Amino acid sequence: MPHQVRKAALSVAFALTATTALADGSVTVYTAVPQNFIDALVPMFEEQTGTSVDIIKAGSGELLNRLTAEADSPQADVLWSVDGTVIDFNPDLFEAYEAAGSDMLAEGMDQSDMWTPFTAVVMALIVNEGELDGKPVPESWEALADPMYDDMISSARAEASGSAYIQLATVLQAFDSEKAGWDVYEGMLSNFVLSDSSGAVPRFVNDGELAVGVTLEDAALRYVEGGGPVQIVYPAEGTAIAPDAMALVKGAPNADNAKAFIDFMLSAEAQQVVAEQGRRPVRSDVESNPALIPLAEVNSVGYDAQWAADNRERLVEAWQDMVLDVQ
């Protein structure tokens, strides 16, 4: 049976209308992963295991709301490809599971007992130089705060997008103090055109609607490889190199199939596909996509995922207050 992809409803009524997880031979996966990963990897898993996959695709914030509403009667088996702080901050919704292949994880990728890394996410800028009206290409977080880029920068909302939250936490960690980071971020936020969808950010830049986007490296690479008028820029102060997460849902109706799904996504075969799709693999025995610069050449802030998880509620609330002040 081919996998199904469904968009999660935006209504609080979703808990009443959610499709009940099927019996043996199926697995229900909630995910924020880009569609190209679904198309490339899910059919491989189905073919190898004979297990049908029902995909519910939405932003990480919406998926978390759904899991919370369904906690007494779980409908999902796996949460796939979200910021790990989403799981660490809500441990009662998940069960710890050590996936097969965990012994092959690259240094720095094993960050939590509650979740398994799927890919190494790198935060970057996508720049359409032709839309800058002669202004210089911004090469740092601090440059993005310059008023000359007002209403020229695309970004997703930090309370709705896991990658946008990583972006916020990265800037706060890239300077000498959190306050210094907030000072820079406030200037950035005043220049942002905010989107509810992180996937829309690089598209706006590629299509010439905006000049700069704060996005994930692989999302930018897709447009570069597609021949778009864009380039990838890595902020000079450093950026986040952090794993996104897969986790077993607590009380999953199809727990064995969920574990098999997580095991497969960490396998060398699946991680090779990850590399082909432009993300950095998390296994030490799988090389990155040759179209990307070597990871050693990307300046890292030494992203502290635990700090980001512990402070998530406080930082998101501060972000929401700042939006009201500067947008």
Whichever domain contains 69, its CATH number is 3.40.190.10
Instruction: Note whether 115 and 248 are same-domain residues.
Output: yes
Q: Summarize pLDDT for 92-149 with one digit per residue, the tens.
A: 999 999 999 999 999 889 999 999 999 998 999 999 999 999 999 999 999 999 999 9
Closest to 5 measured CA to CA, from 43, 61, 62, 60: 43
For the entire predicted model, the pTM comes to: 0.77
Residue 129 near residue 231, CB atoms below 8 Å: yes
Radius of gyration of the chain (CA): 19
> Which of 125, 79, 15 minimizes the C-alpha distance to 250?
79
Whether 157 and 261 map to the same domain: the answer is: no
CA angle 261, 265, 271 (to 5 degrees): 165
Are 111 and 73 contained in the same domain? yes
**Phi/psi at 69 (nearest 5 deg)?**
-65, -30
Cα-Cα-Cα-Cα torsion 30, 32, 35, 39, nearest 10 degrees, comes to -40
**Would you call 10 helix, strand, or coil by DSSP?**
coil
User: Cα dihedral sign for 107, 140, 218, 159?
Assistant: positive
pLDDT of the residue at 19? 34
13 has pLDDT over 60: no
Domain that holds residue 273: 4-120+243-294
The residues facing 82 across adjacent strands are 245
Same domain for 174 and 63, yes or no, is: no
* Percent of the chain residues past pLDDT 90, beyond the cut: 85
- 257 and 109 in a single domain? The answer is yes
- In a shared domain, residues 108 and 190: no
Do 213 and 310 lie in a common domain? yes
pLDDT for 261 beyond 70: yes
Q: State what percent of residues in the chain have pLDDT above 70.
A: 93
Q: Are 121 and 240 in contact (CB under 8 A)?
A: yes
Instruction: Return d(Cα 172, Cα 219) in angstroms, integer.
Output: 23
Whether residues 70 and 115 fall in one domain: yes
Mean per-residue pLDDT over the chain, rounded:
92
**Domain count of the chain?**
2
pLDDT in tens, 272-314: 999 999 999 999 999 999 999 998 899 999 999 889 989 999 9
Is there a single domain that holds both residue 320 and residue 219? yes
**15 pLDDT exceeds 50?**
no
Q: For residue 5, what pLDDT is reported?
A: 67
The number of CA neighbours under 13 Å toward the Cβ of 201 is 34
Same domain, 28 and 161: no
Q: Which of 13-22, 186-195, 236-245, 291-300 has the lowest mean pLDDT?
A: 13-22
